[in-house]
Amino acid sequence: MVGKQQNHSSPRFRSKSPILTLSIFSLSLLVILYTFSPSVSYPNQSHQTETSFVASLEQFLIHKAPKLRDDTVRGESDDDDLRKLDELMSERENRLLNEDPGYPTGFPVKVYVYEMPKKFTFDLLWLFHNTYKETSNATSNGSPVHRLIEQHSVDYWLWADLISPESERRLKSVVRVHQQQDADFFYVPFFTTISFFLLEKQQCKALYREALKWVTDQPAWKRSEGRDHIFPIHHPWSFKTVRKFVKNAIWLLPDMDSTGNWYKPGQVSLEKDLVLPYVPNVDRCDARCLSESAPMRNTLLFFRGRLKRNAGGKIRAKLGAELSGVKDVIITEGTAGEGGKLAAQDGMRRSLFCLCPAGDTPSSARLFDAIVSGCIPVIVSDELELPFEGILDYRKVAVIVSSGDAIQPGWLVNHLRSLIPSDVKKFQNSLAQYSRHFIYSSPAQPLGPEDLTWRMIAGKLVNIRLHTRRSQRVVKGSRSICRCDCWRPNSTASNPLSPLLP
């Protein structure tokens, strides 16, 4: 009976059996394909955030470097090109004036990225990539060349984000446009720092001249005389031989250096240019790290680095002499390389305060190392201008003192010890929130330095259009330059206006 039942199964069951078998086979095939096939990116799929310049560059050059397709003028433009572009841009601006109640300060900022020849962009990135491991050359003061390029690599992080596929981008403050008439700003993707350090001197100067001619031949440059063009010139030595020809453009700088050691008078200003943070030399101390390191922060004040510097950095030697041997204070000469990085990182994570004096320029990467390490910066740099200060309030995260006070015997240590625990805790809580503003990454993150860059640049738009239109309508005999002669450099004096008062 049992055998008979097996041989005479119902027709209904037999008709569905092939369908069921096929369904199981299809499902199994999908599982196999999903398991062994390479991952596919979708517009809403999250991408891993990379904060290492070397790792991000490797991925960018090999896997993500796009083929640019814009309307960049390849040769020298003529007057017709200039007139056409001016008409198109004027039409757009007039339309927005009548249709957009937020014009001209609304978001997002629209940026046109020039498609420059590869020798100014990809070839230089490959040069860094191919020499990073083999080359150990250093500058005259002992700084590793490739590490200097890394900490000044703002040009890479901004460009890589701008030209990434929209499906991978996370910033809402900036949009890349592909027609010049739609642009608020024009980004020049020339790697001035890499070319300065890795090319022979004469080869570098020749490349600077070629880049200058290429950009200034563009009709958009001629229309505004470069006022709406953005140049990443983040290392103070880079692009130096041709700077005077692009002084109207927006420069992305490490600081303003109003001492005159690095920039000629009138070349840089807070109104025109933008200060961007260095790329930190140390790893970020995240929320877990901050919690774990809190009980171990037994050092009052920490500094590791070179004590002999030029220009405004001479304050370092004086501070070193004053603070050497003081209880709960660590002041040591630093060394370059991975060992030096780990020693500095460990010292910062074991300290309440980190000394951040001026270097050869008023700024130093140490300030941003301290911030991302959760160590309260003690800024001793009278001429320093800080990144994103139109957005961020550094009084919440740093102790800022004048050089004159800091070198007085016993003054600085007594001042730090006078801060009550609740004030120290407020600084630390603010550092935990602020550190993300100084971490460059791919993809660029909201409220990261790339995002704050575009938010700051947006604030310059009205003034740029004012000076562009003024330059277009002035007649012979008019004042060609309009400047404020009462501008004074930054000062940490208690009343910086007092010298101007009767």
| Residue 20 and residue 88 in one domain | no
Give pLDDT, residue 502: 34
In degrees, to the nearest 5, what angle opens at C-alpha 158 toward C-alphas 152 and 160? 110
CA 337 to chain centroid, in Å, comes to 22
| Residue 21 and residue 65 in one domain | no
CATH of the domain at 315: 3.40.50.2000
Q: How would you write 187-235 as a 3-class SS string?
A: ECCCCHHHHHHHCCHHHHHHHHHHHHHHHHCCHHHHHHCCCCEEEECCC
Residue 15 lies in a domain: yes
Q: How many CB atoms lie within 10 A of CB 499?
A: 9
| Residue 31 and residue 64 in one domain | no
Number of domains in the chain: 3
Domain closes at, from 439, 463, 491: 439
Residue 433 lies in a domain: yes
Give pLDDT, residue 335: 64
Provide the token pair at 242. 């041709």
Full residue range of the structural domain in which residue 149 is found? 55-275
Would the pTM count as exceeding 0.85? no
| Residue 221 and residue 139 in one domain | yes
Distance between CA 160 and CA 55 in Å, rounded? Answer: 13
Domain closes at, from 207, 241, 275: 275
Q: How would you write 281-298 as a 3-class SS string?
A: CCCCCCHHHHHHHHHHCC
Give pLDDT, residue 316: 86
Residue of 478 and 91 predicted with greater confidence: 91
| Residue 269 and residue 310 in one domain | no
318-376, pLDDT tens digit by residue? 898 899 899 999 999 876 666 778 999 999 999 999 999 987 777 888 999 999 999 99
Is 230 exposed, middle or buried (CB count within 10 Å of its CB: 0-12, 13-18, 19+)? buried
Distance between CA 354 and CA 125 in Å, rounded? Answer: 34
What's the half-sphere exposure (Cβ side, CA atoms, 13 Å) at 36?
6
127-156, pLDDT tens digit by residue? 999 998 876 677 766 678 998 999 999 999
Neighbour order of strands in the sheet with 274-275? 174-177, 109-113, 185-187, 229-232, 250-253, 274-275
Residue 355 lies in a domain: yes
| Residue 142 and residue 10 in one domain | no
Give pLDDT, residue 207: 97
Residue 121 lies in a domain: yes
The residues, any chain, with a CB within 8 Å of residue 124's CB and separated by 6 or more, are 191, 194, 195, 198
| Residue 25 and residue 161 in one domain | no
Residue 42 lies in a domain: no
Residue 307 lies in a domain: yes
Kindly report the average pLDDT of the chain as a whole number. 83
Q: How many residues comprise the chain?
A: 502
